[in-house]
Amino acid sequence: MGGAALEVRDLVVGYGPVRALRAVSLEVPEGSVVTVLGGNGAGKSTLLRAISRALSFHGGAVTGGTVHFGGRPLHSLPPDRVVAAGVSQVPEGRQVFARMTVDDNLRAGALGSRGDRPAKAAALRRVRELFPVLAERSGQRAGLLSGGEQQMLAVGRALMASPRLLLLDEPSLGLAPLMAARIADTIREINSQGTSVLLVEQNAALALRLASYAYVLEVGEITLSGPADELAASDEVRRRYLGVVDEDAAADASQADTTHPVLSRWEG
């Protein structure tokens, strides 16, 4: 395990009386892309909020377990110290500051990072190389960008803090296939530049192409995990998560629906 690995152990999270995660454990080795697949309400956003310490802003709390990054406990840090510890989150729904310019959105992403001025300038160059459209539109209001461009801005803003680990919450959601594929290419490039990625997705086909290791989250519990290529090749995952239909699967379908109510709602 490398020096900047993420280790989540037996994480328990609740929103008041509602238990959203039960004893979730996972690892993101340094330099890797790891994905957590799950349908609506599985607990994917909750997991990322627990890691980034943003749960309290949503009325939730960690009630058990630990989160370590590079051997340091993240679970005891105040939320505003997580970015400085090297972990940045892109929240779901590509939240940009619509009335602020593209550049001001990016500058906001550098707040809280430990980088000095040259580090921030280098981060801005990297973001503009990854997303040339953000350089072209630097003075425009973010609200005028297309959905795909806003997702690029949300990712770019998180990269402004030069994170060692990027937490991505369903970056492909609501994007046309071509735009989703471009975002996927960029995630691959960000990773090849040395940033680890924890990607939560409903889009299993896209996520399994990007990740080396995958976990399946169902109603707050990890039910399946393994190397991404093995999961992508397994009949069970192909049938339930990748929409591959064969005759056996058709025969089993009604049974699968009753034993896995969440998976039957899968929209992959």
Q: Which amino acid is at 58?
A: H
CB closer to ligand ADP, 29 vs 41:
41
The residue whose two tokens read 């238990």 is 19
Angle of the 102-110 helix axis to the 117-130 helix axis, nearest 10 = 130
Bridge-based pairing of strands 165-169 and 6-15 is unpaired
Minimum separation from the CB atom of position 125 to ligand ADP (A): 33
Which of 1, 2, 10, 15: binder of ligand ADP (CB under 6 A)? Answer: 15
Contacts of 29 (CB under 8 A, 6+ apart): 1, 2, 5, 196, 213
Contact characters 94-123, Mg ion, x per CB under 5 A = ------------------------------
Part in contact with ligand ADP (CB under 6 A); list of ranges 2-10, 41-49, 159-167, 177-185:
41-49
Q: Establish if 45 lies at the interface with Mg ion (CB under 5 A).
A: yes
Applying CB under 5 A, the span of 14-22, 85-93, 111-119, 214-222 interacting with Mg ion comes to 85-93
Taking CB under 5 A as the rule, does residue 46 contact Mg ion? no
Comparison of 45 and 203: residue with beta carbon closer to ligand ADP: 45
Complex with ligand ADP: residue 42 or 134, whichever CB lies closer: 42
Candidate ranges 35-43, 128-136, 204-212, 237-245; the one touching ligand ADP (CB under 6 A): 35-43
Backbone φ and ψ for 53, nearest 5 degrees, come out as: 65, 25
Exposure letters 126-140 (e unless 16+ CB within 10 A, then b): bbbebbebbeebeee
In 3D, which of 126, 248, 264 has the Cα closest to residue 194? 126
**Nearest approach, Cβ of residue 48 and Mg ion (Å):** 8
Indicate whether 92 belongs to the interface with Mg ion (CB under 5 A). yes
Binding flag, residue 46, ligand ADP (CB under 6 A): yes
236 binds Mg ion (CB under 5 A): no
Q: Which does 168 bind (CB under 5 to 8 A by kind): ligand ADP, Mg ion, none?
A: none
When asked if residue 41 is in the footprint of ligand ADP (CB under 6 A), the reply is yes
Choice from 1, 10, 40, 253 touching ligand ADP (CB under 6 A): 40
Q: Counting Cβ atoms within 10 Å, is residue 229 exposed (0-12), middle (13-18) or buried (19+)? A: middle
Say if residues 21 and 220 touch (Cβ distance below 8 Å): yes
Separation in Å, CA 50 to CA 65, 113, 192, 221: 11, 19, 26, 14
Give the residue from 201, 220, 221 showing the smallest Cα distance to 209: 201
- The contact set with Mg ion (CB under 5 A) reads 44-45, 92
- The contact set with ligand ADP (CB under 6 A) reads 15, 18, 20, 38, 40-46, 58-59
